[in-house]
Amino acid sequence: MTLRTLSAALVAGVSLSLIPAAHAQTVGGLVAPGLAVASQQAVVGSSNAYKAAIQQLPATYKAQIDQANTRKAQIQAQIKPLYDKLDADAKVPNADRTKLQAQYAQIQQLEQAGERELQQIIEPVNLARQYALEQIGDKLDAATQAAMTKRKITIVLDAQSILKADQVYNLNQDILEQLNLIVPSVSVSPPAGWLPRAQREQQAQAQAAAAAEAAQAGAAAPAPAAPKKTPQGR
């Protein structure tokens, strides 16, 4: 799983309770030596740094959260009477379906506009969450490598691509322990102008494409004609 997918999953609120309470072991050790299974999403979501960051958000961004909640209540109060009227009009015998559809379309437009407005208000909170995730994700490879070295693991498979595996192969707890050591805490205050890695990559690609087009246009442009020499008399 890439960090981009990981970030999207965590921001969306995917369940993170995927790490077993105790790391399972068998008397004979790993059934297949050198092989393990892990879930990056579960490890990052269960890390001390991520949990602490999430707990900081309500206080750090209280103004934005309060504003979003207030505005959401206002939008709901505006839309509810429209839905009530639509329900009442729909129950009228031989109701005009065209008018009902127009009413519904108007409500949908108001809802979509409200959603966009709420997203804009709450954007600093989402950005802070992604900033925390990226800081933790940047250390995930090092934590995984440390866990592999400690357990003498040579191959780690993505848990999402495995149909079923015994808990003896689960490397989550080992990676989590290393991650907590490497990155005990992170900031939830992104620097001014900070963008998530996905957006930075998109901007870099767009700039590179624009530069390539400019260079290609410059190469294709005809060279200016050389000035004609004026004949000189003897």
Going from N- to C-terminal start, the domains of the chain cover 3-11+32-218
Neighbours of 145 (CB within 10 A): 14
Distance CA 172, CA 169 (A): 9
pLDDT in tens, the chain (234 residues): 444 444 444 444 433 333 343 333 444 444 678 999 999 999 999 999 999 999 999 999 999 999 999 999 999 999 999 999 999 999 999 999 999 999 999 999 999 999 999 999 999 999 999 999 999 999 999 999 999 999 999 999 999 888 888 888 999 999 999 999 999 999 999 999 999 999 999 999 999 999 888 888 877 766 666 666 666 655
Q: Residue 190 to residues 23, 102, 123, 140, 171: CA-CA distances in angstroms?
A: 35, 43, 12, 20, 31
Full-prediction pTM beyond 0.85?
Answer: no
Length of the chain: 234
Distance CA 79, CA 81 (A): 6
Distance CA 40, CA 158 (A): 8
Tokens of 224: 């200016």
